Structure 1
């Protein structure tokens, strides 16, 4: 059968099948790319800086629509309320996030036995490779700008070391610092104190900025496009099947012709019986 397949017309047919199947595979990839799309587009309004006190309220749940919002707040840091969160990556290196408590001016005060006179919010100020390189937060009145993010879940089964937290978890930090807090945290992009930006992004030092952008939206699957992408793959395989079938039929015709030449007295019915595939 290989001798039949190596005929010039079937070699040309095989090349044609490759071209056709290649087109079908490209169509499959195109349909597959269209099978997933964002559920909602990235909201450009999150990049417009808004006051933290007008976005989020202490004592309430963190609303998903508030995530990634750029916010601003004025207040002060407490150098005694700072922790390191280990196991954080930056440019492929593992280090620590430096997280400090920030007392927000004008924030509503919570009530209750465990409530503190001021309301705070954790601020992830930057990343350091070595815990000893973590600087103290800026002193005095600070104008903070950053991205508002939901609280992380504490890492279960893992005990935090001295001066560390397992995650930027509000539930964990309020017990560690004994404060009232907003139900989220801020990734700082600017910290203006005394008219100068002293944040990790502006001041030289070993504290590096986090550069956390808006999170990509969730994806949804278009099942019809996904089905079409699989269908084109089947068509690509079918192109080779048709070529193989035509070669096989030609091979059988060659056998019949060869048998006729060898036994010209045989009837067509006998030919059919003797050359049965």
Structure 2
């Protein structure tokens, strides 16, 4: 068999089969990559700044359509309503998010027995490595611009110490601050107070900007592309199988030719006719 496979034409055939199989494998990888790509790119509309009071309604569920939306709002901070959220990484360093309560001017009031006169929203103003570096938020009327994000889930079985929160959770912060709030929070990008930007991105200090960009959509498996990727793998194996089959057929033909050319092989006896059989049985 190896003697047949080493014929020049079958060596050339093997090279051709390997090339074809390689092309099929590359096509399989391409189809597999397409099967896990996001169906839609990041929505550029999220980078257009919209007014918070026209984008999100307080006291309601947080709709996924407004997640990552850049928003703006006027209002004031309350320096007494500020917490640190531990366990936040920045450039590989563990630290804290500084989260302050922001009273939104012109926000709809939430109705209810425990509702506060003003409607607030948590604002993640920046990151600090040392809790002592978390300064007070800007005073006076502030024009806030940032990325709107859904509320995080509080950590179970966790009792943070005073001035701490387990997460940027509206449900948890309502209990700390005892105010009515929006069902999400804002990661600050700019904080204009008296015409100057007082945000972490504009002021060089211990408070560092969060720099949260738009999140890509969740990847979905495209089963059709995944099936195509497996199909190309089968084709790659089939190309090598065809070469092996052709070599095997050629090998069998060589054996038959050698058998026919051998003068010493015994010829097969011809079957006896019925007349010959009758003559043998006569007395």
TM-score band, normalised by shorter chain? 0.7 to 0.9
Q: Aligned residue pairs: how many?
A: 269
CA contact (8 A) 1:260 1:266 kept: no
Q: Which residue of 2 aligns with 1:247?
A: 247
CA distance change for structure 1 residues 239 and 267 in 2, over 3 Å: closer, same or farther? farther
The alpha carbon displacement at 1:262 in A equals 5.9
Rg (Cα) greater in structure:
2
What CA distance in whole angstroms lies between the structure 1 residues aligned with 2:156 and 2:31?
Answer: 42
Corresponding residue number in structure 2 for 1:18: 18
Shift of 1:268: 8.2
Answer yes or no: is the 8 Å Cα contact 1:5–1:11 preserved in 2.
yes
Q: Show CA shifts across 1:116-159 (max 9, x none).
A: 22211000111122323222212222110001111111121333
Give the TM-score normalised by the residue count of structure 1.
0.88
Distance 1:19 1:223 in 2: 27
Q: 1:14-43: per-residue Cα shift (whole Å, max 9, x none)?
A: 211110011111222233333345444433
Q: CA deviation at 1:255?
A: 4.1
The structure-2 alpha-carbon separation of the partners of 1:101 and 1:4, relative to structure 1 and needing over 3 Å to count, comes to: same
- Offset of residue 161 of structure 1: 3.3
- For structure 1, which segment, 213-222 or 140-149, has the greater mean C-alpha deviation from structure 2 after superposition? 213-222
2:60 aligned partner: 60
In the superposition, the TM-score normalised over structure 2's length comes to 0.86
CA contact 1:154–1:167 (8 Å) conserved in 2: yes
Gapped runs of 5+ residues in structure 1? Answer: 270-277
State the shift of 1:215 in Å.
1.7
Cα distance in structure 2, aligned partners of 1:56 and 1:82: 22
Q: Counterpart in 2 of 1:211?
A: 211
Secondary structure of residue in 2 paired with 1:68: coil
Report the more deviating stretch, 214-223 or 23-32.
Answer: 214-223
Structure-2 change in CA distance of 1:175 and 1:262 (3 Å): same
**Compared CA separation, residues 195 and 29, structure 1 to 2 (3 A):** same
C-alpha RMSD of matched pairs (Å): 2.2
Structure 2: runs of 5+ lacking an equivalent: 270-283
Mean CA deviation greater in 42-51 or 56-65: 42-51
TM-superposed CA distance for 1:230, in Å, is 1.1
Shift of 1:195: 1.2
- Measure, in 2, the Cα distance between the counterparts of 1:263 and 1:40: 75
- Residues 49-73 of structure 1 show CA distances to partners (whole Å, capped at 9, x for unaligned) of 1211111121111111111111111
Equivalence for 1:98: 98
The change in CA–CA distance for 1:247 and 1:73 in structure 2 (over 3 A counts) is: same
1:77 aligns with 2:77: yes
CA distance in 2, matches of 1:134, 1:201: 15
Structure 2 residue aligned with 1:88? 88
1:44-55 paired onto structure 2 within 5 Å:
44-55=44-55
